[in-house]
């Protein structure tokens, strides 16, 4: 196969992955799918189904390695998705939607890693993400259960004192996804950023690092608004009902919290445990595009940078939502920041864009062409026209049935004459 043919094949396969793994602009379905039960979201929408796209690319690594242009496209889409979803998660008020867009963002990180040829790194982040994202979703389910099905984080607060197990495990999930050591997300996300740096694509690394900052901020925002500060729910029945979830709900949280703490050590830098495990799957040598391999000291320096960035994100959220909540009013009073807030809260207006560019034109096309022209004019015209022909013919036959004897005698004589003419001819 020629390079152009392989590029075309891999791009079309990747477009399918974009829809399956909720990559921009085919991401809008995932947030709506979170309306389902929380355990379903934890298993299907965080750890298994939505990761099928990145799984396919990793399994087809031998093919994608032959298409560097496609890999560049994959890394660009993954980075844009990671950044986009992180900015949207900053302003969402539904606890499950914050986690939904967090999932989209983390999937973007995985595609970014695959796009620079780091297939085992993408798989490792998929592996660690399954632990801490399932933990966060089940933790949110525990919170929703305690809050009598309330999902608005602005109607929560101060749950730490009443839900210690849920709060502690949720904190571990938050630290893991934020990239704080020694939790799992630190090892996998830092490895992705290192592979991007190693590929020589510094702008992609900077945007990835900025996205890491946003991730730490919106997850800390979620954690602090739910578990700390004053209770903001005015429904006394809901407040009185708040209690720790039963063991059947908290035990999985503890197990996943342990996993979110220890599985990251499988990917310690310069350790071959996870790579050796994937060796039967990833047989090609992992080389990033235009790679220039850095030394170990640079890797540890960048590791420290990513940790500092995560701490800054968490500290900023604490200062804004716990230490000095009056700062939010200043943000709301700033017109420029308010426009950015609205842009983020409305998910970059993708829903409105799809409505105006795809849904409304399809509705008009269906009404004018499919319904009025094809269905009403052509199909109904054929059916009604056929019935009209037979109706006219039947009316003609009905007219000769007058009930008068002389008319029937005329027809009999006329018929006999026709028979005679036919036989004589």
The residues facing 152 across adjacent strands are: 94
> Residue 34 has what pLDDT?
76
Closest C-alpha among 21, 28, 44, 179 to residue 115: 21
On whether residue 113 sits in a domain, the answer given is yes
- Choose one of 323, 356, 380: the last residue of a domain: 323
d(CA 389, CA 386): 5
- Choose one of 267, 295, 323: the last residue of a domain: 323
User: What is the chain's pLDDT, residue by residue, as a tens digit (425 residues)?
Assistant: 788 999 999 999 999 999 998 898 988 888 888 777 888 877 877 777 888 899 899 989 889 989 999 999 999 999 999 999 999 999 999 999 999 999 999 999 999 999 998 888 898 899 999 999 999 999 999 999 988 888 999 999 889 989 999 999 999 999 999 999 989 989 889 999 999 998 888 999 999 999 999 999 999 999 999 999 888 888 888 888 888 889 999 999 999 999 999 988 887 766 667 777 777 777 655 544 444 555 668 888 888 999 999 999 999 999 999 888 777 777 777 888 888 888 888 888 898 999 999 999 999 999 888 888 888 888 888 988 888 888 888 877 776 676 777 777 888 888 899 999 988 86
* CB contact at 8 A, 218 and 98: yes
Assign 304 to helix, strand or coil: helix
> Residue 270 has what pLDDT?
64
Are 255 and 391 part of one and the same domain?
Answer: no
∠ CA 209-268-250, nearest 5°, is: 85
The structure tokens listed for 265 are: 């050590």
DSSP character string of 169-202: HHHHHHHHHHT-TTSHHHHHHHHHHHHHHHTT-H
On whether residue 333 sits in a domain, the answer given is no
On whether residue 206 sits in a domain, the answer given is yes
Are 149 and 251 part of one and the same domain?
Answer: yes
DSSP 94: B
* pLDDT per position as a tens digit, 320-335: 998 887 777 777 778 8
Total count of domains within the chain: 2
On whether residue 349 sits in a domain, the answer given is no
* CB contact at 8 A, 300 and 164: no
Are 262 and 402 part of one and the same domain?
Answer: no
> Residue 373 has what pLDDT?
86
Counting every residue written for the chain, the total comes to: 425
Are 113 and 215 part of one and the same domain?
Answer: yes
Are 380 and 231 part of one and the same domain?
Answer: no
- Rounded to two decimals, what is the model's pTM? 0.83
Residue 158: C-alpha distances to residues 170, 217, 226, 232, 242 (Å): 14, 19, 7, 9, 11
Are 227 and 107 part of one and the same domain?
Answer: yes
Non-local CB neighbours of 42 within 8 Å, separated by 6+ positions: 133, 134, 137, 138, 141
> Residue 166 has what pLDDT?
93
Are 399 and 312 part of one and the same domain?
Answer: no
> Residue 293 has what pLDDT?
55
> Residue 271 has what pLDDT?
65
Closest C-alpha among 98, 60, 63 to residue 174: 98
On whether residue 138 sits in a domain, the answer given is yes
Are 62 and 184 part of one and the same domain?
Answer: yes
On whether residue 344 sits in a domain, the answer given is no
> Residue 288 has what pLDDT?
47
On whether residue 259 sits in a domain, the answer given is yes
> Residue 57 has what pLDDT?
92
* 152 φ/ψ angles, rounded to the nearest 5 degrees: -80, 115
- Choose one of 323, 343, 363: the last residue of a domain: 323
**Domain region containing 393:** 371-424
On whether residue 28 sits in a domain, the answer given is yes
Are 416 and 304 part of one and the same domain?
Answer: no
Are 285 and 409 part of one and the same domain?
Answer: no
Residue 197: C-alpha distances to residues 117, 200, 202, 204, 343 (Å): 12, 5, 6, 8, 30
Residue 231: C-alpha distances to residues 147, 228, 235, 253, 410 (Å): 11, 8, 10, 24, 101
Are 395 and 301 part of one and the same domain?
Answer: no
Are 207 and 296 part of one and the same domain?
Answer: yes
């Amino acid at each position: 196969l020629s390079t152009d043919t392989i590029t075309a094949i891999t791009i079309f396969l990747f477009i399918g992955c974009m829809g399956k793994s909720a990559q921009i602009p085919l991401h809008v379905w995932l947030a709506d799918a979170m309306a389902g039960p929380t355990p379903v979201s934890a298993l299907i929408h965080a750890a298994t189904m939505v990761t099928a796209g990145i799984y396919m690319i990793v399994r087809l690594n031998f093919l994608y390695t032959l298409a560097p242009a496609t890999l560049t496209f994959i890394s660009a889409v993954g980075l844009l998705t990671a950044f986009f979803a992180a900015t949207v998660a900053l302003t969402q008020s539904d606890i499950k939607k914050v986690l939904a867009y967090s999932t989209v963002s983390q999937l973007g990180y995985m595609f970014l890693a695959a796009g620079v040829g780091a297939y085992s790194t993408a798989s490792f982040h998929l592996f660690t993400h399954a632990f801490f994202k399932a933990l966060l979703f089940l933790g949110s389910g525990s919170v929703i259960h305690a809050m009598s099905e309330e999902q608005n984080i602005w109607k929560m607060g101060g749950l730490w004192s009443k839900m210690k197990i849920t709060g502690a495990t949720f904190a571990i999930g938050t630290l893991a996804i934020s990239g704080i050591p020694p939790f799992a997300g630190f090892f996998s996300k830092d490895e992705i950023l290192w592979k991007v740096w190693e590929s020589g694509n510094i702008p992609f690394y900077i945007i990835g690092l900025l996205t890491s900052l946003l991730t730490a901020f919106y997850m800390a925002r979620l954690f602090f608004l739910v578990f700390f500060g004053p209770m903001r729910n005015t429904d006394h029945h809901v407040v009185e009902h708040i209690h720790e979830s039963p063991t059947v709900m908290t035990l999985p949280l503890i197990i996943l919290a342990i996993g979110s703490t220890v599985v990251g050590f499988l990917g310690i830098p310069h350790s071959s445990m996870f790579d050796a495990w994937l060796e039967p799957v990833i047989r090609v040598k992992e080389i990033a595009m235009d790679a220039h391999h850095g030394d170990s000291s640079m890797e540890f320096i960048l590791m420290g940078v990513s940790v500092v960035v995560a701490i800054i994100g968490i500290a900023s959220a604490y200062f804004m939502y716990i230490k000095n909540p009056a700062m939010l009013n200043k943000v709301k009073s700033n017109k420029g920041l308010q426009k950015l807030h609205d842009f983020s809260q409305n998910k970059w207006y993708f829903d409105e864009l799809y409505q105006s560019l795809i849904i409304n034109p399809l509705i008009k096309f269906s009404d004018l062409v499919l319904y009025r022209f094809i269905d009403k004019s052509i199909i109904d015209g054929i059916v009604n026209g056929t019935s009209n022909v037979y109706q006219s013919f039947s009316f003609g036959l009905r007219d000769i049935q007058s009930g008068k004897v002389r008319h029937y005698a005329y027809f009999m004589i006329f018929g006999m004459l026709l028979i005679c003419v036919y036989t004589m001819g």
